[in-house]
Structure 1
Amino acid sequence: MNAQVDIQSRNGLDLVQMGQTVEALKNNPSLAQFEFRASNQWVNGGENRSTIRGFYGAGAEDDSRAEDFVFTNGEPPVLLGNNEGANPVEFLLHALAGCVTTTTVLHAAARGITIRNLSTRLSGNINLEGLLALNDDATVGYESIRILMDIEADCSEEELDDLLSFAKNHSPVCNTVCRPVSVTLERI
């Protein structure tokens, strides 16, 4: 029984389902188009809440989530908040860590690599002069982000380096952060 589980699953992912998904996308590339959504409501000061539930993917609206995911955005007192929640730039680090981790695990499984342990630490540097419009030369947002990954896997160092490079380049959040992306802000 255990040998069969090992053949059908790697890194907690169902290899049969993975293969079926890849084949379905090869046969019908339009299924690869997804639209993710979030809504946000300001509460007070720097506090606001984002709600996430439905999305469009694989050719249909997805209704698999029984409840909303609700995330409270806040600020620390030094940034005029009350620690209501992580601030948005910290959520960006959370999203980046999660996406790079998931992309690494997914592509390791596809390559036949078993991961025994994986953890990351992220840090990013921001100069608030950009946010506050105090210095026109200051970057608005992160100037740099550093991801430190501790990973143990059943492959060579070269295979691991290749996997991590591939994961960095194919993580949707990492790729979005690393390149200009069109964002519009409109009143409704």
Structure 2
Amino acid sequence: MNTAVMEKPAKVAKNGVDVPTLLATIGAVKDMPAAAKFQFRARGEWVSGTHSRATVNGFFGAGEEQGRAQDFVIEGDHPAVVCGADRAPTPVEYLLSALAACLTAGVGNIASVRQIDLTSVETTVEGDIDMQGILGLNDEVRNGYEGIRATVKIKGDAPVEQLEKVVRQSIARSAVFDMLTNGTVVDVTIDA
């Protein structure tokens, strides 16, 4: 009696994600956990008023120093209503953007590994701040967001339940969501 062995088809690139390389990277890190240790960096400088500029390039990862072909420059400012010149988004808007980008990228990767064709993903993030804290008017009001809400709209060639699982997995694996919900120790050194 011949018993044929059914093999699962190989996973292919999907939604712009190189799934075979992603899975190979996960396997390599599983075999060598030290490769998972990364250090990202940003360098900020004051421009004028509330306008600042941060530069991102170079990081440590996969066991060695890594560089990029170009610097990424991120401008920050405040709107005129809070004494800025409105030259760029506020730092707290970048935080919301970071959460949106992290959740959306996670959805793209996870759906691709599960071989789900996505037709659209839109992540909207809102945060509420009471400016009394930042302005030093009320020490009982925190400086940061009181609450953040995110909505992920997802469409693809899978049943709604599977698409919801993709989003839940993205939330569970999001570094930005983790930092916001679990906190992160931040040490500041002053060099005057």
User: Is the TM value for this pair above 0.5?
Assistant: yes
The answer to whether 1:131 aligns with 2:130 is no
Q: What is the rounded CA distance, in whole Å, between the counterparts of 2:81 and 2:97 in structure 1?
A: 21
Q: Secondary structure at the match of 1:162?
A: helix
Write the deviation string for residues 60-110 of structure 1: whole angstroms up to 9, x where unpaired: 1112x1211111101110010111111100111111111110011111112
Write the deviation string for residues 23-74 of structure 1: whole angstroms up to 9, x where unpaired: 10011011011100000001111011000010111111112x1211111101
Q: Secondary structure at the match of 2:70?
A: coil
The answer to whether 1:13 aligns with 2:17 is yes
What percentage of aligned pairs have identical amino acids?
35
Q: Secondary structure at the match of 1:16?
A: helix
**Which one of the candidate residues 159, 164, 168 is aligned to 2:162?**
159
Question: Where is the strand percentage greater, Structure 1 or Structure 2?
Answer: 1
Q: Kindly report which structure 2 residues correspond to 1:31-70, keeping only aligned pairs within 5 A, or say none.
A: 31-63=35-67, 65-70=68-73
Q: Secondary structure at the match of 1:142?
A: coil
Q: Secondary structure at the match of 1:41?
A: strand
Quote the residue 1:184 is aligned against. 187
Quote the residue 1:26 is aligned against. 30
- Deviation, 1:9, is 0.6
Number of residue pairs matched by the alignment: 182
The answer to whether 1:169 aligns with 2:172 is yes
Residue segments in structure 2 that go unaligned for 5+ positions in a row: 1-9
- Deviation, 1:7, is 4.9
Instruction: Name which of structure 1's ranges 124-133 and 108-117 shifts more when overlaid on structure 2.
Output: 108-117
Q: What is the rounded CA distance, in whole Å, between the counterparts of 2:154 and 2:165 in structure 1?
A: 13
Q: What is the rounded CA distance, in whole Å, between the counterparts of 2:164 and 2:171 in structure 1?
A: 11
Q: Secondary structure at the match of 2:146?
A: strand
Instruction: Verify the 8 A CA contact 2:128 2:146 in the aligned structure 1.
Output: yes
Q: Secondary structure at the match of 2:99?
A: helix
Larger radius of gyration: 2
Quote the residue 1:85 is aligned against. 88
Instruction: Name which of structure 1's ranges 13-22 and 29-38 shifts more when overlaid on structure 2.
Output: 13-22
Quote the residue 2:3 is aligned against. none
TM-score of the superposition, structure 1-length normalised? Answer: 0.92
- Deviation, 1:159, is 1.6
Write the deviation string for residues 119-167 of structure 1: whole angstroms up to 9, x where unpaired: 1222110001111222222122111111122210222222222221221
| Amino acid of the structure 2 residue aligned with 1:67 | Q
| Amino acid of the structure 2 residue aligned with 1:187 | I
| Amino acid of the structure 1 residue aligned with 2:45 | Q
The answer to whether 1:73 aligns with 2:76 is yes
